[in-house]
Chains A and B, each alone.
Chain A
Amino acid sequence: MEKMPKWADVLLVPLISLILAAFFSAIVILAIGESPVAALKIMVSGALGSTYAWGYTLYYATNFIFTGLAVAVAFHARMFNIGGEGQAMLGGLGVALVCLYIPWPHWSLALIGATAGAALFGAAWAAIPAFLQAKRGSHIVITTIMFNFIAAALLNYLLIGVLKPMGSMEPATPKFPAAVKLPSLHDILALVGIPFSKAAPANVAFLVAILACIAVWALIWRTRLGYQIRAFGHSEPAAKYAGINPTRMIMIAMLISGGLAGMMAVNNVMGEAERLVLNAVEGAGFIGIAVALMGRSHPLGVFLAAILFGFLYQGGAELGLATRIPRELIVVIQALVILFTGALDNMVRAPVERVFMAMRRPPKPETKLKAAK
């Protein structure tokens, strides 16, 4: 018997979690002597109040869609991929190599090439932890954390050394050639006559992210591979019984996951910075965890949660500019969202379930009393 209707599980519980997170964030803002209402106003106008604001919100959201999908796909195979950060760093490396060393005639071809490069490098960085989990039973959470640090060291090494242009002091690659410049949302929307800010970084990668959402949805719920991944995620012994190869499932799910995390680089490295800089990922890999939890590992949920976090990110940046509240406040909000939608899920869920159970039962006085306890 299901304890509560599906809509409650998909909408109500995340909503309550979100309200709790917002409530505690408001307390933090109050505690540092600022007004939560004023802060919210600044965030809304700064993140949604103009096409420029939307351009930033959607730019951040694009990053989070990719990393959120990455975590979500791995979740379906019951793998907790904390390595999105490192995989996205490597994705950036893939994009940089593809853009710098292949003479692309047109941005569209470059986009395909860079997406492939990003996915390949991201997947490769997920491959070793995945293999160690599948074959040696090494806990993937720990290995992916370790690989984040190893990735940071590797990029540090490359950007200070080989990839840095001669004579430059800055740890970054040269700027990509003009031919690989991706059209911004301004360029795309201009085609259909919608005016959009020229200065904002949102670009064609947002559309790629939407395509990725649809592709992941079809993969998980409509294909045999997705069926097998989900079956494996729910029960490994059952998967073995059914002839589903656990090693294969772990590898495939993690490669897809790493690939998706890597693809984020198409947005931030190719679409925005147009070169690879140190610390390009800026924690988006970790925000993917919050996004996937919030979105209940469903691509539509991930999309919506990513927009929400895009809003928080952009709004938080505006907050940092307009008030004394540092932009790190969004890290606090992000932590609270992870806490309430992830770790404290049962705390939110159990009372909701009890309410639904009590409503469903014929009103017997003694059961009602018990439910109230």
Chain B
Amino acid sequence: MDLLTVLQILDSSVRSATPLLLAALAGLFSERAGIFDIGLEGKMLAAAFLSAAVAAVTGNVWIGLFAGIGASLALSAIHGLASITFRGNQLISGVAINFLAAGLTVVVAQSWFGQGGRTPQLSGGARFNPITLPFAETLRDVPVIGPIYYELISGHTVLVYIAMLMVPLSWWILYRTRFGLRLRAVGENPAAVDTAGVSVVGLRYAAVGICGVLCGIAGAQLATAEPAAGFVKDMTAGRGYIALAALIFAKWRPWYVLYACLLFGFLQAIALRPDLIQNAIGLRVQVQFLDALPYILTVIILAGFVGKAIPPRAGGEPYVKER
């Protein structure tokens, strides 16, 4: 395998990892605040649809992006209402949101565009285009560093770079700011936050809101920044659940979320090139096995065979002042 193939695979890994990363970081904020969210999938899907639809209509992908974030935020608001205000079951709420998005996107897409639940293909200003970083062309011929810079680091859409920047930013917010301290505390013991004079409800809504924004960007990335831009029915295809898996795999820590998402992105990338694996290890690996691998790895982590994944202690529990 030559360097170029390796770089192409890695490049495609980064691209596959981006929506996972954004969604997993979204889940990180929500779950660190004690609100479990299995509705990442639905929020991404809703955002994917609305961003593509609005981008297609306006021809401006940035308006599309904000529309996508809006769609995701609307679902976040439902999740917040159910799990914070009305103290409902967070898991059930997540399931409902996933179905709501799965159904509504197709119903509305059909009504608006009449293309069997798709949006038109996006091009030009209606989609995010790859950015060539400074000097990429000039450095291209420098051995090793040149191709790495050109193939792997340069040439992604702005959303990929935003996603990568979100990792240190999330870490910094969680561990270096007042907001982060309170957010982590509310996921561990909301009563401590409440008696310290800070609003549990406010914090949790803030966390769910951040989750909505990040899921929105994740969905927009899928629909408006992939090589074939545009929405198709059920286009998230379980990525929300893989993001959830990555979050657990990373034990709810930002940097590890990045590593987990890159790993899962890599698995998706090589699943598209079975020939490469066969060349590399001399064995034909079933594509289905690679598809299932993130889930299998997550089950193994959950089983505690590779260190224990301990979720935030107040996670999943609605906060009720004890009597």
Cross-chain contact B288 with A136 (CB below 8 angstroms): no
Complex interface: stretch among A90-98, A197-205, A254-262, A341-349: A341-349
Residue A266 at the B interface, CB < 8 A? Answer: no
B92 at the interface (CB under 8 A from A): yes
Instruction: Establish whether residues B103 and A332, one from each chain, have CB atoms under 8 Å apart when the complex forms.
Output: yes
Stretch touching chain B among A140-148, A214-222, A238-246: A140-148
Nearest neighbor of A145 in chain B, beta-carbon distance? B241
Of B83, B108, B295, the most chain A CB neighbours within 10 A belong to B295
Interface presence of B33 (CB below 8 A): no
| Complex contacts, A339 vs chain B, CB 8 Å | 78, 82, 93, 96-97, 100
Which A residues between 297 and 321 are near B, CB-CB below 8 angstroms? Answer: none
A329 pairs with B286, CB closer than 8 A: no
Q: State which of A143, A153, A328, A335 has its C-beta within 8 Å of the C-beta of B302.
A: A143
- Given contact pairs A138-B299, A139-B302, A149 touches B292 in the complex (Cβ within 8 A): yes
Return chain B residues, CB-CB under 8 Å to A167: none
Residue interface bits A107-137, CB-to-B below 8 A is 1, else 0: 0000000000000000000001100100011
Query: How many residues in A have their beta carbons less than 8 Å from beta carbons of B?
Result: 50
Q: Which of B95, B295, B298 contacts A286 (CB 8 A)?
A: B95
A235 to chain B, nearest CB (A): 16
B218 interface residue, CB < 8 Å from A? Answer: no
Q: Are A154 and B288 in contact (CB under 8 A)?
A: yes
Interface size class of B (residues with CB under 8 A): 35 or more
Contact residue among A80, A153, A346 (Cβ-Cβ distance under 8 Å from B91): A80
Q: A138-B299, A142-B302 are in contact. Are A32 and B288 (CB under 8 A)?
A: no
Q: A139-B311, A150-B295, A157-B289 are in contact. Are A342 and B96 (CB under 8 A)?
A: yes
Question: Is there a chain B Cβ closer than 8 Å to A5's Cβ?
Answer: no
- Smallest distance from the beta carbon of A150 to chain B beta carbons, Å? 5
> Does B141 belong to the interface (CB within 8 Å)?
no
Which residues of B are found within 8 Å of A77, using beta-carbon distances? none
- A157-B289, A328-B103, A335-B100 known; A342 vs B89 contact (CB < 8 Å): yes
Which residues of chain B are within 8 angstroms of A28 by Cβ–Cβ distance? 104, 107
Q: Which of A146, A344, A350 has the most CB of B within 10 A?
A: A146
CA distance A153 to B248 in the complex (A): 21
A338 touches B288 (CB 8 A): no
Interface: A334 (CB within 8 A): yes
Give Cα A325 to B98, complex, Å: 20
A32-B108, A156-B288, A344-B88 known; A141-B299 Cβ under 8 A: no
Question: Among the interface residues A147, A324, A328, A347, which one has the most CB atoms of the partner chain B within 10 A?
Answer: A328
Contact of B111 with A32 in the complex, beta carbons under 8 Å: yes
> Which of chain B's residues 60-101 have a Cβ closer than 8 Å to chain A?
78, 81-83, 86-93, 95-100
Query: Does chain A have a CB within 8 A of B168?
Result: no
Shortest beta-carbon distance from A64 to chain B in Å: 14
A334 touches B103 (CB 8 A): yes
At the interface, yes or no: A289 with Cβ under 8 Å from chain B? yes
A344 and B93 alpha carbons, distance in the complex (Å) = 8
Q: Cβ of A286: which chain B residues have Cβ within 8 Å of it?
A: 95, 99
- Are the CB atoms of B110 and A332 closer together than 8 Å? no
| B248 cross-chain contacts in A, Cβ below 8 A | 142
> Taking the complex as formed, is B304 at the interface, i.e. its CB lies under 8 A from any CB of chain A?
yes
Q: Please state if A32 and B107 are interface contacts (CB–CB under 8 Å).
A: yes
Within 8 A of A (CB), among B294-323: 295-296, 298-299, 302-304, 311
B95 near A289 with CB under 8 A, answer: yes
Given contacts A343-B88, A346-B88, contact A338 B99 (CB under 8 A): yes
- Bound-state Cα–Cα, A333 to B103, Å: 8
Query: B103 near A82 (CB under 8 angstroms)?
Result: no
Tell me, yes or no, whether B217 is within 8 Å of chain A by CB: no
Say yes or no for A336: interface residue by CB 8 A criterion: yes
- Assess whether B302 is in contact with A332, with CB atoms less than 8 Å apart: no
Q: Smallest Cβ distance from B222 to chain A, in angstroms?
A: 18
> Quick one: CB contact mask for B183-223 with A, threshold 8 Å, 1 for yes?
00000000000000000000000000000000000000000
A338–B92 CB distance below 8 A = yes
Q: Which 7 A-B pairs have the closest CB atoms?
A: A331-B103, A343-B93, A335-B99, A332-B103, A153-B292, A32-B111, A342-B92
- Can you show 10 pairs from A to B with CB atoms below 8 A apart? A137-B304, A142-B298, A150-B295, A150-B299, A153-B289, A326-B110, A330-B103, A332-B107, A343-B88, A346-B86
Interface set of B (CB-CB < 8 Å, partner A): 38, 78, 81-83, 86-93, 95-100, 102-104, 106-108, 110-111, 114, 117, 238, 241, 244-245, 248, 286, 288-289, 291-292, 295-296, 298-299, 302-304, 311
